[in-house]
A and B are shown apart, each in its own frame.
Chain A
Amino acid sequence: MAHELGSPVVVVRDVEKRFGNYTVLREVSLTVRRGETVCIIGPSGSGKSTLLRCINGLVPISSGSITVGGREVADAKLDVRALRRDVGIVFQQYNLFPHRTALDNVMMAPVIVLHQNPAEVRARAEALLAKVGLADKMASYPGELSGGQQQRVAIARSLAMNPKVMLFDEVTAALDPETKKEVLITIQALAAEGMTCILVTHEMGFARRVADHVYFTDGGVIVEHGTPEAIFSAPTQARTRDFLDKIL
């Protein structure tokens, strides 16, 4: 998808992450520019989720540097809540707040965290839910929604904070093919609108369609990266070829 690519929004440089003696990420570097859609693919356990969680400060990095909109994540004086206002993240398991309606789920953070006017937030939340195709489900509780619907509420919930970048962690992995499609269409529309997105996904066809740039990770390192065309049609590394052969 060709955009006018802007300035770097997320810059990851030489990041290492250890859990105890176990190194999950090693010398990871990547840059995501404004409006760009980046896909991260790789086998299970290669550290993809950990990398996303490092970017929004849910997991501290061991060394290296990550900046989001110029803000250094590893900075001891980092205002982690300011960082998280700029970074939306959507998880595989939706993680909606089950005691509140879909509309409330979307409204809560802007009202409670950003202290925005509830009436204005409501209008925006309704528009967002309509945009993800859930205009008729605003008053439903998460338990009354299908997985795909819940996931779309989760996307709307993140978007309501007007983030600079959206992180998606295998958001369709728990869904059946039918509902998967609704969610993928939503993300594709978002990317087309110019939202900066980092997607961890096992949907290779989707990655190929929407990504501007694809990173292949294995064992905590970035083995290879390039345009979707280069990665999927002419991978240079044997590990990439093995991985793609196995899953395609």
Chain B
Amino acid sequence: MTARPLAVLLPPRPEPTAPRLLAQTWLLAALVLALCAGTAWAQAVAQQTGRPGALAIMLRWAPLITSGFLLNVMVSVLAMALGTLLGLPLGLSLIARTRPLRLLGWGMTQFFRNVPWLVLLFYIMFLLPFELHLGGLVLPVPAWFKAVIGLALPVSANVAEIVRGGMQSIPEPQWSAADSLAFTRWQTISRIILPQALRRMLPPWMNLYAILTMATTLISVIGIQDGLTLTRAAIAAESRPELMVPMYIFLLLLFFAYCYPIARLTLALERRVQVRI
């Protein structure tokens, strides 16, 4: 016999947020430090060899790298929007009452959640034509558009799981109560279950978005001029190895500055959800 007290009598466990936040702050500090050190080192190398200063070069390339980064952001926003649009019905199909629909949804969700994103991207690249013929109209299909679709697929599968989990976290009596008031299943889902589940779905959804944003650097592999591609181009153009460290760190910082507030907000929301429920 173990003398452990009953689980229900234990006080709620303190959340592990404090160490996580601290770690993130340290990471930020380390990155900034590395950027400064890297630039200083490159500056020093430049002075020894009498070539233009590293700082000047960094400043010259910063706008281009930033514009590439903004492409990453755009692709992430569009992929998230499309993925959410597709993921919502996919998530609903996971709790459908008709078995074939449920199986289809399950199959799609499992498939897109368990294949590498990069492979999917390659697939979509080759699968989609580079131009669309609509009647007499010829529409070019830009690479970034294909990237959005390629990334939206795994996102939709993950959104579907978030939707399913959120809906299943709503206690069964809510369904019975709606049933006994003669709500249809769709009325129950749209008016009773989903509105309550949304609050719980928001933190994991934002978490997914942060992950997606970082994963958008994958699109550089398929030849899109994103932040990573342009950073590498800049490094190649300068052909100065000592610039590699500060340049990459600059790109990392851009991503960090974008994703860190999202992570903070997610944590804050998570905490609020826990308090309210």
A-side residues, CB < 8 A to B, are 56, 58, 81-82, 84-85, 87-89, 91, 93, 95-99, 108-109, 112-113, 157-158, 161
Contacts and interface: CB of A to CB of B under 8 A. Distances in A.
Question: DSSP class of B's interface residues: helix, strand, loop or mixed?
Answer: helix
Given A95-B173, A112-B183, A113-B184, 13 more contacts: A58-B179, A84-B179, A87-B180, A91-B176, A93-B173, A95-B176, A95-B177, A96-B177, A99-B195, A112-B187, A112-B191, A113-B187, A157-B181
Contact of B180 (A56, A82, A96, A97): A56
11 contacts: A56-B180, A58-B179, A58-B180, A81-B182, A81-B184, A95-B173, A97-B174, A98-B196, A109-B183, A112-B191, A113-B183
Interface of B: 173-174, 176-184, 187, 191-192, 195-196
Nearest to B196: A99
A169 B187 CA distance: 25
A93 B191 CA distance: 20
Nearest to A86: B182
Listed from nearest, the 6 A-B pairs whose CB atoms lie closest are: A95-B177, A109-B181, A84-B182, A81-B182, A95-B173, A89-B180
Contacts of B184: 81, 113
Contacts, number: 50
Contacts of A56: 180
A113 B258 CA distance: 45
Nearest to B197: A99
Contacts of B192: 97
A87 B176 CA distance: 13
Contacts of B196: 97-99
B273 to A, nearest CB: 13
A58 to B, nearest CB: 6
A57 to B, nearest CB: 9
A84 B184 CA distance: 11
B27 to A, nearest CB: 37
B174 A161 contact: no
Contacts of A112: 183, 187, 191
A161 B192 CA distance: 17
A195 B179 CA distance: 22
Nearest to A143: B276
Contacts of A99: 195-196
Contacts of A93: 173
